[in-house]
Amino acid sequence: MKTRCLTIDPACPDPAVIAEAATILRRGGVVAFPTETVYGLGANALDGAAVQRIFAAKGRPSNNPVIVHVTSSDAARQLAAEWPTAAERLAARFWPGPLTMVVKKQPHVPDEVTAGGATVAIRCPQHTIARTLIGAAGVPLAAPSANASNRISATTAEHVLRTLDGRIDLVLDGGPAGGGLESTVVDVSASPVRVLRPGLITAEALSGALGEPVLAGGHAVVERGAAPSPGMLARHYAPLVPLEVCADGAVRARELSAAGQRVALVTHLPIACELPGVCVSMLPNDPAGYASRLYQALYELESSGVERIVVVTPPQSAEWSAIHDRLRRASA
Ligand code: TXA
Ligand code: MG
C-alpha cells in the first residue's frame, strides 16, 4: 500500500483535503491525523472491518481496545448504554480535551473496538483537524496513537511515517500535536471513578471537578496483576534505545560515556558539570512543556545513533505523574 501524506493547516484545515480524508474513512480506510495529545490512527468506529485495519497496521494485539473519538457529549451518549453523573460532570468540565472516559457500551459498538468487552472508551478531542475530520466523516472515529504497537506515540507526521509508512492510506500532516502525551483515561462505569492511564489531567483535577475521591490507578494497578485496561502493560511507549531514569543523571551519563558508550542525557535541569561526548537534550522544567517535547526528543535520539538514554528523574509532584508513568514504561 502506498501511504499518502497531505499537509494541512491546523487552524484552518482545507475543506478539500478533509473531504478526501473523510471519503477514505467512509470507505473503510485508515487515516492518521493530529489531535491535541498525539497523532491518532483513525477508522470508522462503527465498521468492525475498518477497525481491524488499524490493528493490522499497528501490529496491535486484538485484546487491547481502542478509543472512540466524537465531537460532542451527545455523540458520546449515543455509544454509551449508561451515562453516569460522573461522565456528565467530567464532560462538562474537560471536553473537548485530553480526557478519555470508559463507559458501558451500546450493542452497536463493534467488538473490534472494545476487544469484546462491555465498555467503550470515548474521547472528545479539541484539535480543529480532528474535529473537522470526524464531522466530515459523519461517524465516530476509533483511533489509537498512530505508531506501531509498543513504540513511542507519534507527535508529528514524520513519526507516524517512521513506523506506519506503507501500512496506512493517508497521513494528514498538521504539524506537531501540541500536548505531546496521551490523554488521561478514566473509568466512570463503576464507583469510585478510577484513573486507568495517568495524563496531564490529574486524578486531583478530576476529583475536584466531581467533588468526590478518584482512585489514581494506572501502572500500580497493573503491577498487582489485575489489569483493568489491557493497554496498561508494563513495557509500552518504548524507544528503540535502552533508557534509564536516574536522579543523578549527569553522573550516570558521564560514567557510561567514560565506559565507551554513546550516551544521551535528557534533563529538565541545567547541567552544572562538563559532559564531554554526551548528547544533552534539554526539556522545559514544567510538566506541560516537558510533555510536549518528550516523545519528540526520544524519536530524535533514537535516530541519532546513541546507544543509551539517561533521563534525569523529574520532580515528584502530582502534575508530573503521567510523565513518571511513561518514563517507567519506557525503561521497563
Ligand atoms: O491521547 C490519546 O488518548 C490518543 C489520541 C489519538 O486520542 N490515543 C491513544 O490511544 O493513546 P491508545 O490506543 O494508544 O491508548 C488507548 C488506551 C489503552 O491503554 C487502552 O487499553 C485503553 O485506552 N482503553 C481503550 N478502551 C478501553 C476500555 N474499554 N476499557 C479500558 N481501557 C481501555
Ligand atoms: Mg498507543
Among the residues of 62-216, which ranges form H helices? Answer: 73-77, 85-94, 111-114, 128-137, 157-164, 203-210
Ligand 1 atom 31: the closest Cα is on which residue? Answer: 229
Residue 226 grid coordinates = 489485575
What is the arrangement of strands in the sheet containing 184-187, beginning at the earlier edge strand? 4-7, 170-173, 31-33, 40-44, 141-142, 67-69, 119-123, 99-104, 184-187, 194-197, 215-216
As a whole number of angstroms, the distance between CA 297 and CA 181 comes to: 13
**Which residues crowd ion ligand 2, with CB under 5 Å?**
145
Tens digits of residue pLDDT in 89-145: 999 999 999 999 999 999 999 999 999 999 999 999 999 999 999 999 999 999 999
Closest-lying ligand 1 atom to the alpha carbon of residue 98? 1
If you measure from the C-alpha of residue 217 to the centroid of ligand 1, how many angstroms do you get, rounded to a whole number?
15
Residue to substitute in 67, 68, 104, 235 for testing ligand 1 pocket (most ligand atoms within 8 angstroms of CB): 67
Which pLDDT belongs to residue 235?
Answer: 56
* Percent of residues, the chain, with pLDDT higher than 90: 90
Coil, strand or helix: which one is 331?
coil
- Please give the mean pLDDT across all residues of the chain: 94
Instruction: Report the alpha-carbon distance of residue 280 to residue 70 in Å, rounded.
Output: 40
- DSSP secondary structure letters along 239-291: -SS-EEEETTHHHHHHHHHHTT--EEEEESS---S--TT-EEEE--SSHHHHH
| pLDDT of the residue at 239 | 82
Give the ligand with the smallest distance to the CA of 61: 1
Can you give the pLDDT at residue 228?
52
Helix 128-137 vs helix 15-26: angle between axes, to the nearest 10 degrees?
50
Determine the pLDDT at residue 220. Answer: 38
Residue owning grid cell 496483576: 225
According to the model, what pLDDT value does residue 217 have?
A: 72
| pLDDT tens-place string over residues 276-331 | 899 999 999 999 999 999 999 999 999 999 999 999 999 999 999 999 999 999 99
Q: What is the pLDDT of residue 129?
A: 98
Ligand 1 atom nearest to CA at 123: 7
> Ligand 2 center to residue 153 CA distance, Å?
6
Provide mean pLDDT across the span 173-182: 96
34 C-alpha to ligand 2 centroid (Å): 14
Report which residue type is found at 313: T
Mean pLDDT of 227-244: 69
Torsion of CA 286, 289, 290, 292, to 10 degrees: 160
pLDDT in tens, 30-47: 999 999 999 999 999 999
Q: Cell numbers of 229, please?
A: 485496561
pTM of the prediction?
0.95
What is the reported pLDDT for 279?
A: 95
pLDDT of residue 161 exceeding 50: yes
Question: For the residues 73-91, what does the mean pLDDT come to?
Answer: 98
- Looking at the chain, the number of H-run helices and the number of E-run strands are 12, 15
Q: What lines the ligand 1 site, CB under 6 Å?
A: 35, 37-38, 40, 64-67, 98, 100, 102, 114, 117, 119-121, 123, 143-145, 182-183, 185, 196-197, 229-232
Distance CA 122, CA 141 (A): 10
| Contact by Cβ (8 Å): 184, 174 | no
Looking from the CA of 300 toward its CB, the CA atoms found within 13 Å total 14
Which residue has the least CA distance to atom 3 on ligand 1? Answer: 183
User: Ligand 1 centre from 233 Cα, in Å?
Assistant: 12
Rounded to whole angstroms, the Cα distance separating 59 from 1 reads: 16
Pocket test for ligand 1, best of 134, 160, 185 (most atoms within 8 A of CB): 185
Return the bridge partners of 32, or none: 41, 171
Residue 173 pLDDT exceeds 50? yes
pLDDT, one tens digit per residue, over 250-286 is 999 999 999 999 999 999 999 878 888 999 999 999 9
